[in-house]
Amino acid sequence: MEKIWLNSYEADIRAEIDVCRYTSINDIFRQSCEKYAGKTAFHNLGKELSYRELQTLTADFAAYLQQVLKLERGARVAVMMPNVLQYPIAVFGILQAGLVVVNTNPLYTPRELEHQLNDSGAETIIVLENFANTLELVLPRTQIKNVLVATIGDMFGLKGALMNLVVRRVKKMVPDYQIPHAVPFKRALALGAAHTLQPVDAGLDDLAFLQYTGGTTGVAKGAMLTHGNICANMLQAGEWIKNGLREGGETVIAALPLYHILALTINLMVFMQVGGKSILITNPRDIPAFVAELKKHPVSVFVGINTLFNALLNHPAFKDTDFSTWKLALSGGMSTQQAVAEKWFAATGLPIVEAYGLTEASPGVCANPLNIAAYTGCIGLPIPNTDVQIRNGEGQCVAVGEAGELWVRGPQVMKGYWQRPDETEKVLQDGWLETGDIVVMDEKGWLKIVDRKKDLIVVSGFNVYPNEIEEVVVHHPKVQEAACIGVASDKTGEALKLFVVKKDESLTESELIEYCRTQLTGYKVPRNIEFRDELPKSNVGKILRRQLRDEKSA
């Protein structure tokens, strides 16, 4: 496919960059810590870590793993923590020791946790004590030998003891657990500080992360992301967002969990590379506290997803935030709805710059240019060093303007799925990654997602894409959120089922159906509507249609 999208690039954005100019993530980390030593790297709950302090602490932790636990190069280490200061220390420490990070969702059920630990073969895990009870339940059925337990107050000195007391006794946020021989995270740092880290010559082909997919297509699989994959995507993203951003001068909100691939690459990696100050939001679902934190900092970059933008917009105090320093609002993870984008622009004066990616591509594939003035409804253009093709069911490229499945090739594409060559073969062919997303490219190279291939609903032979239905429904002033799925129908094969969270309790089913009739052709109008207090979401706030489908088929 001809790279027609290159003609739509901003003037000084290069189509090809040197993605091999660093030897590893460790190489980038070292250079950033030295260049921005006196600047703040991470801020959380009132505590700041400078790049100099971060470098020292990660070296201590790496030395503990290497010299005390004697972990061999390539061993997998699970990290089960939300956005706290220990997270970047642990991750960069693991990588410096020549080990592999297994990002683990702290909200996993025991079943999910057991699967990931056994599938990855991890023998070491770092867990925040709030979630240690889940780990305790599965430990006997895993290969875990070393457990390190962190606490909220670890990095806060004398104040930390009081913080832990409040979290444990007052707020009762730490369920009882018993894990014999568990080592406190602070103790591990102290033990590591007494040893000298032996440098590890990590290369671009070495495995850095086992990043498990959300399991939306079956059993969760570990995408093998190398140092080269992550370094490439850092540099690709850095090239894309360089205009208007200052090295060592940005304050970035890290509200999405760092263990998720979007925040991992953008918040943890990209803004570390350019010396940014990242404000770690431990619990973004506490919107009042989140808004209060926003008001304390001269924020310049906000990374979020549609549901997070929407939640903030629906909190009355958000509109009183000082947005004068804000430069960039970046969205990924799910489609940004026009109604949300327009309300965000009206409130903040900033457009939401939508990007697209997937775990298997580290994750960045496409993005809107930063100079957009308003909502585009597109996922933008392929980023530098990235090729795309749009193929039909027979694997042939379709013409411009025709819908087909998006295939991606570039240095950010994963090595494969961990110990699953059969699954790897299903999605990787000659370096091309099958995304499962149905897209259309226009004559200028802009890409628009039609929908996920698996979410396609066929009503009486007509294709219906849930994104379109949801986009229409959320424009209704009395609707806060919506999700559409297909359910079995004797008459039409499949019928539309709509789930709605009300913004105004006066909304009725008949009112919403009549509204849809004014916006959609007959076969696209949902006639089965279920009102709910909330919709199921993933750990980053993405609405889970799969879970809604599973409920209806049970």
In this predicted model, what pLDDT tens digit does every residue of 211-226 receive, in sequence order? 998 543 456 899 999 9
Percentage of residues in the chain with pLDDT exceeding 70?
Answer: 98
- Tell me what the mean pLDDT of segment 77-84 comes to: 98
Which pLDDT score is estimated for 216?
A: 36
Number of H helices, E strands in the chain: 17, 27
Which pLDDT score is estimated for 236?
A: 98
Which pLDDT score is estimated for 523?
A: 87
Which pLDDT score is estimated for 546?
A: 86
Which pLDDT score is estimated for 250?
A: 97
- Tell me what the mean pLDDT of segment 133-147 comes to: 98
Which pLDDT score is estimated for 553?
A: 67
Which pLDDT score is estimated for 217?
A: 43
Q: Beta strands 277-280 and 301-304: pairing type?
A: unpaired
Least confident of 318-322, 386-390, 506-510, 543-547: 543-547
Cα 18 off chain centre by: 25
Which pLDDT score is estimated for 215?
A: 41
The one-letter amino acid at 151: T
- Tell me what the mean pLDDT of segment 81-88 comes to: 98
**Higher pLDDT, residue 283 or 111:** 283
Which pLDDT score is estimated for 454?
A: 75
Which pLDDT score is estimated for 165?
A: 97
**Higher pLDDT, residue 267 or 540:** 267
Helix (H, G, I), strand (E, B) or coil at 51: helix
Please give the sequence-ordered ranges of beta strands (E in DSSP) within 199-318, or none if there are none: 207-212, 222-226, 251-254, 277-280, 301-304
Helix (H, G, I), strand (E, B) or coil at 331: strand
H-only helix segments in 45-184: 51-63, 86-96, 110-120, 132-138, 158-165
Which pLDDT score is estimated for 129?
A: 98
pLDDT in tens, 303-362: 999 989 999 999 999 999 999 999 999 998 878 889 999 999 999 999 999 999 999 999
Asked whether the beta carbons of 85 and 104 are under 8 A apart, the reply is: no
Helix (H, G, I), strand (E, B) or coil at 463: strand
Domains of the chain: residue spans and CATH: 25-39+48-202 (3.40.50.980), 456-553 (3.30.300.30)
Whether residue 200 has pLDDT greater than 60: yes
Counted residue by residue, the chain has a size of 554
Angle at 280 between CA 275 and CA 284, to 5 degrees: 145
- Tell me what the mean pLDDT of segment 38-42 comes to: 98
**Higher pLDDT, residue 333 or 100:** 100
- Closest alpha carbon to 215 in 434, 423, 488, 471: 423
H-only helix segments in 428-492: 466-473
Least confident of 63-67, 118-122, 456-460, 484-488: 456-460
Which pLDDT score is estimated for 357?
A: 94
- Tell me what the mean pLDDT of segment 86-106 comes to: 97
pLDDT in tens, 379-409: 999 999 999 999 998 899 999 999 999 999 9
- Closest alpha carbon to 83 in 296, 251, 257: 257
Beta bridge partners, 381, equal 367
Which pLDDT score is estimated for 130?
A: 98
